[in-house]
Structure formats: structure tokens, C-alpha cells
Amino acid sequence: MTPSVLFVCVHNAGRSQMAAGWLTHLAGDRVEVRSAGSLPGDRVNPAAVAAMAEVGIDISAATPKVLTTEAVQASDVVITMGCGDACPVFPGKRYLDWALEDPAGQGVEAVRPIRDDIEGRIRGLLTELGVAPA
């Protein structure tokens, strides 16, 4: 069975989109990837798009999506990024909270270390899921 991962941050515009981009890039179709926000923004953070483009990952077509209970129920692993109690909790799911700096309103220089931190966490997650990175 294909493991599924949901990334959640408040606006679904920066951290969760970069994490989804990394996981899709490194796992391909071997992991089902979702991302959402409790208060989704109107577009993905341009600095996040630019920082990801620097490493060859295009997230420019991504759009912030609202967090639904269905998305949480359909996921094996739910990774929150600073949304606190806005994320519904269901028994039997694995929850991780990644304390990542919020890239909102920051330039690409400030977003690069967040991007690289996320890459390392995604590689660790793939190891835990038993999925070899591409």
C-alpha cells in the first residue's frame, strides 16, 4: 500500500508547499502527497517558489487548499508546521510537528535555509516510510 502524507501549515503557502514539493520530487508516485492550511492564503509564497526553483523543483502551479477532516482521515502521516490546535486529530494517525521558521514575508535568502531544513526532514521521513529517495 502506498503511504500517504499530509503537510499542514496555517496558510498552505510556504512550508507545507515546499515539503510537498520535496516529497513529490524525491518519492515520485511511491508516496501520496497532500498539503493544506487552516486559513489558506490566496497564492503560494513567491519566495518559496523561487527557492524551490533553485533546486530544480517547480511548485509554481501549486495552490493553497483548505484543511479538511477528509484529508486528515485519508492520510497515514500528518505533519503540522506551526498550526497548533487547528489540525483535527484522529486515532490511528501518526502526527509529527516540525518547528520550522515561517517564510511568510521573507525574501528568498531567508527561505533557502528553511527549504534545506525541510529537505533533510523529508529524507528522514522517506527512510522511516521505507521509501528510497529518487
Question: Which residue numbers are catalytic?
Answer: 9, 83, 87
Residue ranges of E strands in 1-134: 4-8, 32-36, 77-80, 94-97
59 by Cβ neighbours in 10 Å (0-12 / 13-18 / 19+) ranks as buried
Distance in angstroms (rounded) separating the CA atoms of residues 47 and 30: 28
List 32's β-bridge partners, or say none: 4
CA 15 to mean position of chain CA atoms: 6
